[in-house]
Amino acid sequence: MEVSKLGVLEKFIIQKFFAPKLKEKTNFFRLLALTQKSGLGLRDALFSIKKSETNKGLIMIIQDLIDQLTQWYTFSQAMKNHSYFFQEEEIALVKSAETMGNLPEILEEMAIELENAQRIQGKIKKAMTYPLVLIAFAIIAITILLIYVIPTIVTMFPNEESLPNLTKFMMWASNFLQRTWYLILIIGIGIVFLYKFLYKYILAFKIFIDKLMVTTPAVSWVVKTYYMYKFSKLLSQLYSAWVSPILSLKLIGNTFTNFFYRKKTIEIKENLNAGFSFAESMEWSSLFDPILVQIVHVGEDTGNITEVLKKMSDFYRDMLQTKIDILMSLIEPLLMAMIAVVIWLIVGSIFLPMAELVNVIK
């Protein structure tokens, strides 16, 4: 019996052209949790959600889930056929909930977590908007000055050799930009694609970049807080769903993109297999906050590690938002200073020869 009616081509089309966004995924789990709590059957709930959905990709996924449930597959089995949309830990939580009989509660908790992720993502985008807009306007202004303003000013002088050195340099930059702008554009785009390729397929390059992310002072504050938030949140969710610690760590490790956090998660899993406690496995690592290690130790001793981890995840979530604000407040003046220096050089290259011209006229 065929599990899914969607073939490889249909799944590719969904991923590339109609991929549901985080907001739509959050709404899907939220609506599914509400309909389950109201006593509606899973298939009927999916039919109801499909009617109000507007994203073509998500409609195709929901229809396929309905088809698989009709074939008597479980919801977690149906979700596995859309691993590009559902995360491994989400599938594991649903599978555990099907066994425990608390699917509505687990779905609601997943929706809340996705809402938190959506809120953090929105905060990052909002914080990055101002610097990006500032850089874009600066590039446009510098390009106009180099291509149009400086050559016009220079034509006022009969002898270019008499121009100041700064103006000569800017003239060279202007000519270079006019001759090779398309090449510069191609190189810029190529660097972006090259970076993505190297980070995805070249392990040494990925290790180098990930090392910078956890060691660069201002950036590491945000990165470490984010991963401690994800670690404590996912672990508390999986523990509350009665997923085994070993499987929980395996799923968490698969969700981490940073090489060092993934490696450390695997090491913790191996240490648990060897008989060590969670706190012992996390000790002496610069990747985890000592406070988190101590709290986990207390949770293990008292037997309420799930609640402890949940509270710590709330703490790190709030701290993450604060540290994002701090990072952006550090980046903005640096960008302003860099742009000011460039603008000063260009303006100086314009006004120096004009000042000399005024002196000659006098």
pLDDT, mean of each 10-residue run, the chain (362 residues) = 60 76 87 85 87 86 88 87 85 84 83 83 76 78 75 68 74 81 88 92 93 88 89 85 83 88 90 83 83 83 83 88 82 79 75 67 58
What was the pLDDT predicted at 4? Answer: 54
What was the pLDDT predicted at 2? Answer: 46
Q: How far is residue 313's CA from residue 311's CA, in Å, rounded to a whole number?
A: 5
Q: How far is residue 17's CA from residue 20's CA, in Å, rounded to a whole number?
A: 9
> Residues with Cβ < 8 Å from 81, sequence gap 6 or more?
3, 4, 6, 64, 68
Whether 209 contacts 286, CB under 8 Å: no
Q: How far is residue 245's CA from residue 238's CA, in Å, rounded to a whole number?
A: 8
Buried b (16+ CB within 10 A) or exposed e, 261-282: bbebbbebbebbeeeeebbbbb
Distance linking the first and last C-alpha atoms of the chain: 95
Whether 75 contacts 95, CB under 8 Å: no
Measured from the Cβ of residue 317, the count of other Cβ atoms closer than 10 Å reads 21
Residue 79 burial (10 A CB sphere; 0-12, 13-18, 19+): buried
Of residues 204, 219, 313, 222, the one with CA closest to residue 259: 204
Q: How far is residue 150's CA from residue 143's CA, in Å, rounded to a whole number?
A: 10
List, in sequence order, the alpha helices (H) in 216-289: 217-240, 245-255, 259-273, 278-282
What was the pLDDT predicted at 199? Answer: 92
Q: What is the DSSP letter of 216?
A: S
pTM over 0.85: no
